Amino acid sequence: MDPERKIPYPYQIVPYCIRFFGLSSNLLVNNEKHVIHGISITFETLRRENITSQQLYLLSASIDVVERYQAFLESSHSSLSTQVFNNCSKPWFGEYCQYSFNLTWSFDKIVRNYFSDIKLQAGNSFTAETCYTFIECNRGPSPSCLDWREICDGKIDCLNDGRDEIDCEKLDLNECEEDEFRCSNGFCIPKELFNDDPLTPDCIDRSDEKYDQKESSNFDHRLSKICKRGILIYVNNFTENYCLCPPAYFGYRCEYQNQRVSLVLQFRTVEWRTVFTFVIMLVDENTNIHSSEQYDYVSLRDCRKKFNFYLLYSTQPKYVNQTYYVRIDIYNKEKMEYYDTMFYPIRYSFLPVHRLALLVDVPIRDVATVSKKCLLKCLHGQCRYFSNFDKYFCQCLNGYSGMLCTIKNSCDCSPDSIYVGIVNNRSICICPLDKFGPRCYLKRTGCISNLCSNSSRCIANDETYSETEYYCLCSQGYMGSRCENPETKIEFLFAKTISIPQTMFIYFIYIPSISKSYSSPPADPPQIIMVSKLKFYESSSFVYFGGEFHIIFVKIHQHYYLALLRHNSTLGINISTTIIPEHRCLSIKDLFTDNIPILPRWHRAKHYHIPCQKHSNLVCFYDNDFFMCLCDIDRNANCFKFDYRPLYKCFGYNYCENDGQCHIDNSTCPTSSSCFCKECYYGSRCQFTTTGFGLSLDDILGYNIWPNIPFSRQPKVATLDGGGGWGTRTVIDTTIPGISIFV
């Protein structure tokens, strides 16, 4: 791990398995009546000894065995009482204690040695160690064979009929959208992923990043003589050896290349405190699930992280005439309810490896649940609509599958989990926050002691990839790994001559320190934009901010004001500042009467010292095209790049009504969203209006009633009628001009 690396390392778990197509699983286990390298203990014996499933888990028992034992403890089902746990003696492992690694090497050395070879092979010329065999290709005398990367590379490699280049013109003719980057091989990726991290290219040919292929390695090639692309294990009494293959390879020696879908996913959501579960599935035209992966995601923790993995076809080779797609189901893990589904087609079935690099924008809940008339008759399920594709599908109930949910399957998910579907005769289950395991029977222990401070929420992390057992979702106003540190609280007051705004944009500016060497120009000051909405009874506003900053500007009534300027960026203190007319930043159009404002940007910048020297009370001024400038104590202009464009995007979704504009505070890792309303509209979604007749008290007060707060603690405007009884006539003075409301 590089402590100076600002971009999170990609998440990837690579399952290594014995992958022999056509070989019975019975041949992979010890078929003797007793286990040679361990002791067999029945579930009933374990229960009498008060052994918990957590203890079995810590003994490195198979996860399937641990879950079956927990199910036995919960139900005491007699059919499970005779099942056994095989307590293996070192160095043996596996459900039947039948496997062992190299006895002379540590497991750490085996893994490091293997991945050193992987890095060495990356980008190098193809070798005959592994072959793609799903095309009958004559490459000449043995051991020459076809590599999957030679398919559609613009050169004919198969001497018989050039079938390695059939249909490849479809890639040449492929055109990308305006918001996409075209890889050298014809695939498209989102432009946001172009040149974002040289260590994690998104194009499968690496054409989106500057990639250094020079890698040093002290790889010991003794293993590669046995396992071409896998990890060597010994079976039974060291009389046999097998190879554990990654998803990209199969065969006794991992010598054959798999057909697969290679995915790179990056998620974005404005619901930054919500715990989502993403279920990613490879599905065919008959809605059969071929393979799946799932991840728990919290934007505060996982923003900008990439998720890399393979999805395999259940049949090798795949059926070329069938259509396949990637389906992503989204669930709210805290509420344990369905959220949304997305659809991504596999367009080029003739390719052995299809790369999908996706920037998945999770829609806002109110937008995701827009109802549409469904045309499918789902017998044991509910008809759903893909939020990003004009297509319907059936979401089946527990134990059912098929296009219309007509196929009955057994569901072995725990009672408190959510059933998603069936893959390889196993149920796909969504676990509650405090459970884990393929069937969700095991209890997470990371949050038992709950070390999160200040009423923050403890989220148990996924044991398979997390560096810590838990993650703290901090309450408002706190930050830190355990939410132990207060954020900076800033209160904004308004001078009497400034009318109180309905909406205020707040710009936090951090000035990086300048290197003494001056070897490179200083970086542009980082800028974070927040939105504060004031209710009509409020005369001030406050926000919490957890980052460092030196300057605060605010935008109210289409004017900019300098709200705060400080030399130190001390965190965790309370600040109160007043917006005054004297700190208004003027436009250069107001300061220059000649043709200077219409000059090119850098030409007019030469004149920026004039306003500070000419106007002794001027604090700041701005150029809408690029700059914000401060007048220093010597009356010189100190200018820096300033982003004047609010982020009216919300990832393509707009949940604001009445032509309101959806605003997020950061395009990469947003922490808030809000609606910027047009004149005469207000409310959290611009759903209320002050125009015309029929303005009801419920509409106005509904925006100001605080949820989950007792009536006695509600704002005064919402409680005026509480003690007067019927017939009481009270005048409420609002900030809506010309309107008095009588109760």
Contacts of 611 (CB under 8 A, 6+ apart): 586, 588, 591, 592, 618, 621, 629, 631, 637
Percent of the chain with pLDDT over 70: 82
Q: Over 60: is that where the pLDDT of 291 sits? A: yes
Contacts of 359 (CB under 8 A, 6+ apart): 190, 192, 193, 266, 268
The segment with the largest mean pLDDT, out of 24-28, 79-83, 647-651, is 79-83
How much is the average pLDDT of 134-145?
86
How much is the average pLDDT of 372-378?
83
Q: Over 80: is that where the pLDDT of 699 sits? A: no
- Where are the domains positioned within the chain? 30-97, 260-443, 487-641, 694-743
Rounded to whole angstroms, the Cα distance separating 399 from 297 reads 26
Q: How confident is the model at residue 371 (pLDDT cuts 50, 70, 90)?
A: low
Q: How confident is the model at residue 686 (pLDDT cuts 50, 70, 90)?
A: confident
Spatial CA neighbour of 579 closest among 598, 608, 559: 559
- Asked if 275 contacts 332 with a C-beta cutoff of 8 angstroms, the reply is yes
Burial 481-518 (b: 16+ CB within 10 A, else e): ebbeebbbbbebebeeebebbbbbbbbbbebeeeeeee
303 alpha-carbon distance from chain centroid: 6
At 695 the pLDDT is: 47
* Token pair of 741 as six digits: 């409301």
At 20 the pLDDT is: 81
Give the domain 260-443 fold.
Immunoglobulin-like (2.60.40)
Place of tokens 């097998």: 242
CB atoms < 10 A from the CB of 254, how many? 27
180 alpha-carbon distance from chain centroid: 19
pLDDT digits 0-9 by tens, 598-657? 888 888 888 999 999 999 999 999 988 789 999 999 999 999 988 876 666 677 667 788
CB atoms < 10 A from the CB of 442, how many? 23
At 733 the pLDDT is: 34
How much is the average pLDDT of 334-351?
93
CA dihedral defined by 127, 130, 132, 136, rounded to 10 degrees? 80
DSSP secondary structure code for residue 672 in this structure: -
How much is the average pLDDT of 227-255?
87
pLDDT digits 0-9 by tens, 54-63? 999 888 788 9
Least confident stretch, 205-219, 291-305, 672-686: 205-219
Q: Where are the alpha helices (DSSP H) in 279-362?
A: 299-302
Q: How confident is the model at residue 227 (pLDDT cuts 50, 70, 90)?
A: confident
Q: Over 70: is that where the pLDDT of 563 sits? A: yes
At 682 the pLDDT is: 78
- Asked if 193 contacts 266 with a C-beta cutoff of 8 angstroms, the reply is yes
pLDDT digits 0-9 by tens, 454-507? 999 999 887 665 567 888 999 888 999 899 999 999 999 999 999 988 888 999
Spatial CA neighbour of 243 closest among 224, 268, 216, 270: 224
Residue 198 preceded by cis peptide, ω within 30: no
User: Which runs of E-coded beta strand occur in 390-456?
Assistant: 392-396, 400-401, 407-408, 418-423, 426-430, 435-436, 442-443
In single-letter form, the type of residue at position 215 comes to E
Contacts of 577 (CB under 8 A, 6+ apart): 490, 491, 492, 493, 552, 563, 564
At 532 the pLDDT is: 86
Q: Over 50: is that where the pLDDT of 723 sits? A: no
Q: How confident is the model at residue 34 (pLDDT cuts 50, 70, 90)?
A: low
Q: Over 80: is that where the pLDDT of 4 sits? A: no
At 713 the pLDDT is: 43
Q: Over 50: is that where the pLDDT of 3 sits? A: no
Q: How confident is the model at residue 152 (pLDDT cuts 50, 70, 90)?
A: very high
Q: Over 90: is that where the pLDDT of 420 sits? A: yes
At 237 the pLDDT is: 74
Mean of all residue pLDDT scores within the chain = 82
